[in-house]
Amino acid sequence: MATPGPPAAAEHVEAALRAADVFLGIAAHSLFDVDDETTGQQLAVLLAVAPQGQQSVAAVARLLQFHPSSAMNSCRRLHVSGLIVRLEERTGNGDFQVTVTPRGRALVREVLQRRRKAVAELIRNLPRDKREPVAAAMNAFAAAAGGEDPEIGLFTFRLSG
């Protein structure tokens, strides 16, 4: 991460908040018709596990900053729903490995595709000469937050400190 600069000007903060509101709206709309199958917390677990292939529930809890018991409960419910597979008991602490089922992967792909489609629509609405500067600014913004992989789709915000 780059060395922090001077404090942000109020207009910069307001511009970022306006953009964040747009992206939060996109994230929320991408979940329409999905909330019948999962809760927001369960979807976050799916989005965290899908790109990893196989992950321990404890690792999922750390990644999402969930209490371990919350992650465990979400994984159990997702298992019952057929969206993840519980692979094996690991230790006496009750932790286990999980992976996303084909049905769970299809759900994750659907959510991420909805997000991509909405963002593509926004970009199409930008004048052509603004697209590159906006992309550069978004890349810089993402890098400042830790540069999460867009395949993960968590829309997390992590800063050290």
What does the mean pLDDT of the chain come to?
Answer: 83
Binning pLDDT at 50, 70 and 90, where does residue 150 land? low
Which is higher by pLDDT, 145 or 23? Answer: 23
Percent of the chain with pLDDT over 70: 83
pLDDT of residue 161: 36
Mean pLDDT of 15-44: 84
DSSP string, 35-86: TTT--HHHHHHHHHHTTTSSEEHHHHHHHHT--HHHHHHHHHHHHHTTSEEE
- To the nearest 10°, report the CA torsion of 74, 80, 81, 85: 80
For the sheet with 55-56, list strands across it: 55-56, 96-100, 84-89
Q: Within 13 A of 65's CA, how many CA atoms are on the CB side?
A: 4
Contacts of residue 67, defined as CB under 8 A and 6 or more positions apart, other chains included, come to 61
pLDDT of residue 124: 95
